[in-house]
Amino acid sequence: MNSAPPLRTIADIARLLEAHADLHALLLHVESLGLPDCWIGAGFIRNTVWDVLHGRAIDVSCLNDVDVIFFDPSDTRRERESDLENRLHEISPGAIWSVKNQARMHRRNGDAPYRDTFDAVAHWAETATALAARSLDGRIDVMAPHGVKDLLNLIVRPVPAFEQKMEVYRKRVLSKDWPARWPRLTMLMTWGEAYPASHSSFDRIET
């Protein structure tokens, strides 16, 4: 791909992931596992979009890891996740794979049990991170429980579920040092900054 398409909508993001050979290949590798409700999330999309919006080349090797998420309450053993990481490493050894069954992650995050992967992603710390993509027969779907407006406007904002976990949010965001790589980001570090007026919720964009 010589240049990235313009990014204005969730469909534009899906087209970007499909058009970029390395990103699309990772999605196809994950699809080949046949896991239920399975996606790649977080920095896989966020970093890609922010790089494009900053005029930077997309470089899959810059990903700290590739966050693979699925939902299967019937088997929440961590050993299963390790086995899946090993399988993905055999397929694509150049990536650092992280596989997590979201049917167990609510316990680590201090949340009520998640209903599905969409619900789990909705509870991730930032609206710009709470995204995931998957390949279905080669067609790319993108989920964004809180929409893509913040992502495309380079805004770092806590998700509504983090109202009582702002210290966790701030510690996480400060540890990332994102502005060093993406200086045009707007970092909202307090609840009052993030939600200055009463709000109901972000528009949910279903896949």
Residue 32's pLDDT is 97
Do 99 and 81 form a contact (C-beta atoms < 8 A)?
A: yes
pLDDT digits (tens, 9 = 90+) for 68-127: 999 999 999 999 999 999 999 999 999 999 999 999 999 999 999 999 999 999 999 999
Statement: residue 147 has pLDDT above 90: yes
Structure tokens at 78: 């961590």
Residue 160 lies in a domain: no
Residue 143 lies in a domain: yes
Residue 149 lies in a domain: yes
- The CATH number assigned to the domain holding 69 equals 3.30.460.10
pLDDT digits (tens, 9 = 90+) for 4-49: 567 999 999 999 999 999 999 999 999 999 999 999 999 999 999 9
Domain that holds residue 126: 10-153
Residue 138's pLDDT is 81
What is the rounded distance in angstroms from the CA atom of residue 205 to the CA atom of residue 207?
Answer: 7
What is the rounded distance in angstroms from the CA atom of residue 45 to the CA atom of residue 31?
Answer: 16
Residue 89 lies in a domain: yes
**What's the predicted TM-score (pTM) here?**
0.90
Residue 175 lies in a domain: no
Residue 111 lies in a domain: yes
Residue 103 lies in a domain: yes
Residue 127 lies in a domain: yes
Say how many domains are in the chain: 1
From the list 110, 188, 190, the residue with the least C-alpha distance to 150 is 188
